[in-house]
Amino acid sequence: MFFNLQPCFPGFCVCVCACVRARACVRVQSCHATKPNLLNVHLVPHTHDDVGWLKTVDQYYYGDRNDIQHAGVQYILDSVVDQLLKNPDRRFIYVETAFFYRWWKRQSADVRRTVRRLVDEGRLEFVNGGWCMSDEATTHYSAVIDQMTMGLRFLNDTFGPCGRPRVAWHIDPFGHAREHASMFAQMGYDGFFFGRLDYQDRSRRRIAREQELLWRASDSLTPPMADLFTGILPNGYNPPEGFCWDQSCDDPPIRDDPDLEDYNVDDVVKRFLAIANTQAKVYKTNHIIMTMGSDFQYENANLWYKNLDKLIRYVNGRQANGSRVHALYSTPSCYLQELHRANLTWALKTDDFFPYADDAHDLWTGYFTSRPALKRYERISNGNLQVGLRGPQWSDHRGPQGSDHRGLLSGKAMAVAQHHDAVSGTEKQHVADDYARRLAGGWLRCQVLVSNSLAALSGSTAERIYCDKLNVSVCPLTESSSKFSVNVYNPLARPVSWPVRLPVNGTSYKVSDAEGRSVDCQVCVCVCCPLLKTVCLCVLVLQFLRVTFDPDTGLLSGLSNLETKQTIKLTQNFYWYNASDGNNSKSDQPSGAYIFRPNSSTPFVISRTAKTETVQTSVLQEVRQWFSPWVSQVVRLHGDSRALELEWTVGPLPIDDDLGKEVITRLDSSIQTAEYFYTDSNGREILQRKKDFRPTWILRQSEPVAGNYYPINSRAFIKDEVDQLTVVTDRSQGGSSIQNGSLEIMLHRRLLYDDVRGVAEPLNETSALFPEGLVVRGRLLLSLDRPPTAADAHRPLAQQAVLQPTLTFTDGDGRWSPCLQFSGLQAALPPAVHLLTLTQWDEDSVLLRLEHQFQSRESKENSRPVTVNLQKLFSTLEILGASELNLSANQWKDEMKRFHWTPQTGM
C-alpha cells in the first residue's frame, strides 16, 4: 500500500479491515423556499455558548453561579427542542459538541428519538461541530485537528451523515488564522462564517462588497484543496439593533393585537425592512443573513421564537402590497446553498485576518501571550496525550483491559483547552485554574497508558515514576537514589538527539545506555544568585555553534554557525512596555488580557548589563545571566545541538507602579530585514509579515507596536539574502519586528486594569508557589542558517519542541528487565514525513495521520512529494487494509464533495 504525500498535505486516515459505508444524508427539503426576485433575509436562530470564560464549562452547562453571569446551557437545549416541536418551520443551529454531549448523555430514549428526527429533518442543524470553537491565534494545528475530530466523531456516531456539519462557524474568535481555513477546507466544510475582523478591513470590504470571499488558505496545496468560501457576518454574531427578543434583552416584543394599546407591527416591520435594505447594499446577492441570538441566549426560547414567527408573518405579509423583502427561518448551510446557487465569482484572499483591531487603539494582540504558564501547560499536555495514545499501539493492539482506549478523558481536557477563552488566556482566573486542573487529570490518564505499554514492552512491572516538576529541577527519585534508570520515549518517527537534565544529589555518576555503553554526562553544580560573579570573557563554542558575549555588558553579542561558516552580530536583552492605564487623550483603552496597548512605543530596558557566570564542559556549555531579581536566563549549548538554547525565567513582575508590565526579549541582529519578518500559522505554514502593512488594504497604523504584533505558535524568523535567524518557541507567544534586523517576543504580562472586553478582571496572576506574582520559565531555540536550507533545520526543531521525549524513571539499574530498547517503527520515516496521529479508532482499526511537514518550495531536498509504504511502517501493527478519510476523519475521502467556488481572478 503506497500513499503519495504532497507538500503540506496533512494526512489521511486508515481503517483496517472492512470499513462500513453509511447511507448518505437524504433530506427531502430542509431549507425553506426562497424567492428569486425578492431580497431573501435568512434568519438564523443561534446561541453562542463559550466552553468556559467567566464561569467554568460545567458551571455554564448547569447554570451554576448565575451571580457571575446568567447562563445555563442545559436549559437552552431543553427549551429549544420544545420550541422546535411547536412549529416545523422553526430552525436552530448548535455549535459546541462539548455541551451537546453533556446534554445528550442525560436524555431519555424518547427525547433522543425526537432530537434525531429534528436533525434528520434539518430543523436542528449542527454547525462547526468540534468539541469547542477553538481559538485561532494561540492553538497548535495538531490539537485543533484532534478537538475537531472528537466533536465530529460524536456527531457522526450519534446522528450519522445528517449530523455532519457543512459549515464552519467561528463567530467569536479574535482574528482568524489561515491554517484554520486550510484545515476546515480539508475537513470537508463547504464554507466558513465569522464575526470579527479589523475595523478598517471591514469598512473597506463593505464598500467593495467583499464581505463574502474565497480564502485560498495554503501556498502548497493545489486549489481547490485549501480553498474555503468565507462569509463575514453583518453584526458580529448579534441580532440587528432593536431585534433582540431573548429574556436577557430589552427590545420591545411584537405587540400585534390592534385592540390593545401600543400596537407596533407597522413600526417593527418598517424598522426591519430598513435594516434589511441597508444590509443588502453591502453584500453581493439577493440573500442576506441575520444572526438571531447571542451569548447563552435561548434559555427561554419561547420568547425568541414567538416573536420571530410574527416577524416573518408580518414582513412577508407586506409582499401583497409590493414589498420586495422575504424573511425566512434559515441556517448557515441553507444560506450558503443560495450563495452557491448564485454562481458568482468571489474576491480571493491569500493572507490571514491578524491582527484584529476593533478600533484605532484597540489591538487584540495581548492575548497572544496572556497566561504564558497555561499556554505552556497546554502545549506539553498535547505531547503527553499523543504519547499516551500511541503507547497501546506498540505493545498490545487492544490495549490493557479496562484502559481508556481512546484516551478520551485526556482528549477531552485538551479539547476544552482549545476554546477561544481557554488557551487564549482571556478567561477569569478561577476558570484558568479549572482548565489546568482538567489537563492535570489528563496527564494522570496518559501516564497510566504509558506505564502499561512500557510494562508490556519491557516485561518489567517495576513502578514507573514521572517527574512532572523537572522544569523546576525537582525529581525526588533522582535526587535521593544512588542508582536509577531513565526510560526515554521519543514520540517522533525519527531519531532525535535530546539532552536529558536531571537534578541529582551526588557529585559523580556513571551513566550507561541500554547496551551497557557509557554515555557522556556531566554533573553541574547549581549556583544560587548570591554567589554571582562576573566573568571577563565568555565565548561558548561546541561542535556546530559559536556564541560570543560582550565582556563589558555580559550580553550575547554574536552567533556563528561553524558548519555553514556564517556569522552575525546578535545582541539580546529583556525589556518591558509600560502598560497604558487608558487615561489619555487618544483613547481610554487600557492594556489587558486581550488588548496590548503600551503607552509608549519605546520599551524600557530591564538592565543594560547582566551578571554572568560560565559553565564549560565537553558536553555542555552555559552562560547564566542575571538581569534583575525578576529576570534571568541561561544561554546553553549542547554537544551536538545545532540550536542555541535561551532558557528565560521572568517574574514576579513588579507592580509597584500600580499599572503593570509587558516583558519582551529582543534579538537585534545585523540581518537586513527591510521591514519583513515571518511567523507561522498554528504551527504549520509560514506567513510573511511586513511592518505597518497589510496585504489586502492600505493600513492607517495607529498603534506602532501593538499593531505590528502577530501570533507565533512555534517559530518566527528574520532573514536577508545570506542569513536567516529562526526562533523556535515552546508555547504560543506574540511577537514582531519593529526595527530593521530585530525580532522581539513577548514573554510575560501582568496588568492591573481590565481591558473592558467582558472578562472584568485584571491579568494579575499569582500562584500558591508564587504569591508575589507568577514566575514563568521557558525556552527559545535559536538557529542560524542559510535561507535556502533553513526550513530543513527549523521544521524538525519545531516538531521536537511539540513532541518532546517522555521520561519515566525506575529505582535501581533496571538491568534485569528483559527488554530495554524498542522501536514501534521498522525504520525512521523520511525527513519530510511527520507521524501526526496514531491512535486506536475502534476494536480493529487505528487512525493514522501522516503529514508532509514541508511547504512547497521552502526546501530543495524536502519539499518534494514523498511515497510511504504503509506495510513497511510499523513493527507491531500488521496492516490488513486502509481507507482514506478527510482530515477530521468523519467522512470517507472518496465521498467528500465540496461546493466549488470561482475566484474573481479566474484562478
Ligand X SMILES: *[C@@H]1O[C@H](CO)[C@@H](O)[C@H](O)[C@H]1NC(C)=O
Contact of residue 468 among ligand X, Zn ion, none (CB under 5-8 Å per partner type):
ligand X
Q: Closest approach of Cβ 48 to Zn ion, in Å? A: 6
Q: Determine, following the binding rule CB under 6 A, whether residue 592 of this chain makes contact with ligand X.
A: no
3-state SS, residue 146: helix
> Pairing mode, if any, of strands 325-329 and 39-45?
parallel
Cβ-based nearer residue to ligand X, 176 or 777: 777
Distances (CA, A) of 635 to 496, 529, 572: 21, 16, 11
Set of cell numbers at residue 748: 510575560
Binding partner of 160, given Zn ion, ligand X, none, CB within 5-8 angstroms per partner class? ligand X
Site for ligand X in 22-41 (CB under 6 A): 22
Is the Cβ of residue 219 or residue 581 nearer to ligand X in the bound state? 581
Size of the site for ligand X (CB under 6 A): 36
Read off the DSSP letter of residue 171.
S
Q: Return d(Cα 311, Cα 242) in angstroms, integer.
A: 12
Q: CA of 810: how far to CAs of 387, 450, 462, in Å?
A: 19, 14, 7
Task: Check residue 764 for interaction with ligand X (CB under 6 A).
Answer: yes
- Residues numbered 869 to 888 that lie near ligand X (CB under 6 A) are 885
Helices 73-86 and 97-105 cross at an angle (nearest 10°) of: 80
Kindly state whether residue 417 participates in binding ligand X, applying the rule CB under 6 A: no
Query: Interface mask (CB under 6 A) for ligand X, residues 48-87, using x and -?
Result: ----------------------------------------
Phi/psi class of residue 768: alpha, beta or left (left: φ > 0; alpha: ψ in -120 to 50)?
alpha
- Copy the grid coordinates of residue 659: 499599572
Establish if 904 lies at the interface with ligand X (CB under 6 A).
no
Within 13 Å, how many C-alpha atoms sit on residue 513's CB side? Answer: 10
d(CA 620, CA 645): 11
Residue 281 burial (CB count, 10 A): 10
**Of 725 and 803, which has the nearer Cβ to ligand X?**
803
Q: Judged by CB under 6 A, does residue 441 bind ligand X? A: no
Q: Which residues bind Zn ion (CB under 5 A)?
A: 50, 172
Binding of ligand X at residue 475 (CB under 6 A)? no
Query: With CB cut-offs between 5 and 8 Å by kind, which of ligand X, Zn ion, none does residue 846 bind?
Result: none
Cell of 200: 478598517
Interface residues for ligand X in 480-509 (CB under 6 A)? 480, 505
* Binding flag, residue 597, ligand X (CB under 6 A): no
How many Å apart are CA 610 and CA 581, to the nearest integer?
30
d(CA 259, CA 616): 92
- Residue 171 or residue 389: which is nearer to Zn ion going by CB? 171
- The set of cell numbers assigned to 825 is 517503527
- Sketch the per residue contact string, 376 through 415, with ligand X: x for CB under 6 A, - otherwise: -x--------------------------------------
Q: What are the residues whose beta carbons fall under 8 Å from the beta carbon of 378, sequence distance 6 or more? A: 143, 414, 417, 422, 423, 435, 439, 731
The binder of 172, among ligand X, Zn ion, none, by C-beta within 5 to 8 A per type, is Zn ion
- Tell the smallest beta-carbon distance from residue 173 to Zn ion (Å): 8
The binder of 50, among Zn ion, ligand X, none, by C-beta within 5 to 8 A per type, is Zn ion
So which residues are the catalytic ones? 172
> Residue 28 Cβ, how far from Zn ion at the closest point, in Å?
35
What is the DSSP annotation of 32-48? PP--TTSEEEEEEE--B
Q: Establish if 822 lies at the interface with ligand X (CB under 6 A).
A: no
d(CA 495, CA 124): 49
Nearer to ligand X, 318 or 691 (CB): 318
578 binds ligand X per the rule CB under 6 A = yes
Among positions 29, 37, 108, 321, the unique one binding ligand X when judged by CB under 6 A: 321
What's the gap between Cα 19 and its chain centre?
31
**316 Cβ neighbours under 8 A, 6+ residues apart:** 326, 327
Q: Which residues, numbered 202-241, are part of the site for ligand X (CB under 6 A)?
A: none
463 binds, among ligand X, Zn ion, none (CB under 5 to 8 A by kind): none
Q: Which is nearer to ligand X, 87 or 480 (CB)?
A: 480
Residue type, 347: A
Does 583 help bind ligand X (rule: CB under 6 A)? Answer: yes
Question: For the chain, percent helix, then strand, then coil, each to nearest 5?
Answer: 25, 25, 50
Residues that bind ligand X (CB under 6 A): 20, 22, 156-157, 160, 317-318, 321, 343, 373, 377, 468, 471-472, 479-480, 505, 578, 581-583, 599, 604, 655, 659, 752, 762, 764, 766, 775-777, 885, 890-892
